[in-house]
Amino acid sequence: MREEFPGWHGTTIIGVKKDGKVVIAGDGQVSLGQTVIKGTARKVRRISPGGSDVVCGFAGSTADAFTLLERLEAKLEATPGQLARGCVELAKDWRTDKYLQKLEAMLIVSDGAQMFVITGAGDVLEPEHDVTAIGSGGNYALAAARGLMEADLTAEEIARKAMAIAADICVYTNGNLTVETIGA
């Protein structure tokens, strides 16, 4: 993040894949420095490029994330049904385009079968253990979800419990969730 501006800080987004379903959940808190500006932001969205269904969650600058979501949607329209290819194409552009390089955000995306984390460093990561998380509370949510994966819980129950744990620990995360499910 740029040093001269405190920036919109913090969020937690989690993706959980279990029993043929993928759940992406995100908290609603937006902070500027140490001040909570909004508690009901929607950081998890559904996009429908070319008639397919994709769920995306973002952490980082909202304007930057929406720019990336628009670019991702265009990539997926050009490569219908090929989530991995669309994500790689976005990551290539993000890494090489001088305008996009300045964007400060991360994405978790899923079509219900695959789930990826896309970063500005050019990474397209498929998570191990069918769970991933990003944002300031991401490590807390990730650890909680990994611990819950063996329990007799649905993907949504795991995501909700993990987000509750992250919200209890991370001051930049609240319990006001947006939850989207995709898959069988």
Q: What is the pLDDT of residue 16?
A: 98
Q: What is the pLDDT of residue 1?
A: 42
Q: What is the pLDDT of residue 9?
A: 53
Q: Is the pTM of this model over 0.85?
A: yes
Instruction: Please report where in the chains the tokens 């509370």 appear, as a residue.
Output: 137
For the chain, domains (ranges, CATH) are 8-183 (3.60.20.10)
Q: Please, is 122 exposed, middle or buried when counting C-beta atoms within 10 Å of its C-beta (0-12, 13-18, 19+)?
A: middle
Q: Which residues of the chain have pLDDT under 70?
A: 1-9, 184
Helix (H, G, I), strand (E, B) or coil at 5: coil
Considering the candidates 11, 12, 132, 173, report the single residue annotated as catalytic. 11
C-alpha 20: how far from its chain's center? 19
Q: What is the pLDDT of residue 109?
A: 97
Is residue 11 among the annotated active site residues? Answer: yes
Helix (H, G, I), strand (E, B) or coil at 95: helix
Tens digits of residue pLDDT in 137-170: 999 999 999 999 999 999 999 999 999 999 999 9
Q: Please, is 156 exposed, middle or buried when counting C-beta atoms within 10 Å of its C-beta (0-12, 13-18, 19+)?
A: middle
Residue 131's nearest CA partner among 86, 163, 85, 175 is 163
- Stretch (H or E) spanning 9: strand 8-9
